[in-house]
A and B are shown apart, each in its own frame.
Chain A
Amino acid sequence: MALMRGSLILATTLALLLVAGLVQAAAIEVREFNDPVLEERYRDITASLRCPTCQNQAINDSDAPVAGDMRDRVYQLLMDGRADFEIRSYMVERFGDYVLYNPRLEGRTFLLWGLPAVLGLLGLVLVGLLVRARRNASNRALSAEERARLDALINRERIE
């Protein structure tokens, strides 16, 4: 009896999980591709475009209506034989730079892309300078006068 109840619970749980999986799958449509390369490109593009209404979700990951519309359009444009960059520009023209997870390198974004490199370089230069300064300090030879003083100090200590 207990065993039967146990298996009943298990069966119910499995059924629920299955239904939940189906519901999840219904949110984002399945698309047919004859060409695996095209499918790969579709996956890349929809993962690199940000959904305009969501907080930090790519359009391949969102069930917001606008994300669905954008996926439809990406699919259509791919089928029309457009290049990846053309499809991304198409979306930027309509929804703004916001939809790009990777901002393009242009006049307006040079600070965004350039600052980390500049700061990194500056850090390297700083470390280099510090290392050189230290090495110089420890390598510097004593002058004759300093050596004589040092000997005198050491000798005095020995005598005492």
Chain B
Amino acid sequence: MNRRLLLLLPLAGFLALAVFLYQGLSLNPFHRESALMARDFPEFDLATLKAPERRVDRDLLTTGELTLVNVWGEWCPECKREMPQLLDLAERHGIRLVGVNWKDTREKALGFLEEFGDPFEVNIFDPDNELAFELGVYGAPETFLVDGDGVIRYHHTGYIAPNDVAEAVLPEVEQWR
């Protein structure tokens, strides 16, 4: 009798594997952790969007204040949809926002801020993909939560939907503030 049950072992193994692989089918391949998680925000030296003569570097993010760094571009439709949420985070929740204006022109970017509002304390102007490449950005918008010491604590790939504010972003802000 016991030996008969042993014959079921391969079937059980197969079923376990099937369940495991089946779960994999419903995973979103874009949900993966940033390679920079828990690492220092990369070095950079770039001009700001509004004042071309003003240069900013990594010191911008080691002020002791928690900062959301949002990578955006005028050409990116999702970034427009995200603006109300970013304005909410900045104005209602008092979070410091720094933008990275990515692969854009000054003229278009300034027009964007005029039209959709400006939640950013400052925007880093990155037309040639210098900083964004260091951050491993592969599509806008992307948002990084950087703690007061300039360490990346959370990475949001893609658009921050209205429900993401309370469900994903604010809990992380509370944790690292």
Contact = CB atoms under 8 A, between A and B. Distances in A.
Given A55-B29, A69-B133, A73-B133, A94 B139 contact: no
A96 B33 contact: yes
A94 B129 contact: no
A116 to B, nearest CB: 13
A66 interface: yes
A95 B29 contact: no
Contacts of A65: 103
Interface in A9-58: 52-53, 55
A92 B29 contact: no
Contacts of A157: none
Given A96-B33, A98-B32, A52 B133 contact: no
Nearest to B132: A69
Contacts, number: 31
Interface string A76-111: 000000000000000011111110000000000000
B148 to A, nearest CB: 23
A95 B32 CA distance: 10
B29 A94 contact: no
Main SS of the interface on chain A?
helix
Contacts of A92: 35
Interface residues of A, number: 15
Nearest to A52: B138
For B103, B129, B136, B137, the residue with the greatest tally of chain A CB atoms inside 10 Å of its CB is B136
A69 B130 CA distance: 10
A95 B139 contact: no
B87 interface: no
Contacts of A93: 35
Contacts of A52: 136, 138
A97 B33 CA distance: 10
B33 A95 contact: no
Interface of B: 29, 32-36, 103, 129, 133-139
20 contacts: A52-B136, A53-B139, A55-B29, A64-B138, A65-B103, A66-B139, A69-B129, A69-B133, A92-B35, A94-B35, A94-B36, A94-B135, A95-B35, A95-B136, A95-B138, A96-B32, A96-B35, A96-B136, A97-B35, A98-B32
Given A52-B138, A65-B103, A93-B35, 20 more contacts: A53-B138, A53-B139, A66-B137, A66-B138, A66-B139, A69-B129, A69-B133, A92-B35, A94-B35, A94-B36, A94-B136, A95-B35, A95-B136, A95-B138, A96-B32, A96-B33, A96-B35, A96-B136, A97-B35, A98-B32
Q: Which 10 A-B pairs have the closest CB atoms?
A: A96-B35, A94-B136, A52-B138, A66-B138, A95-B136, A53-B138, A53-B139, A69-B129, A98-B32, A95-B35
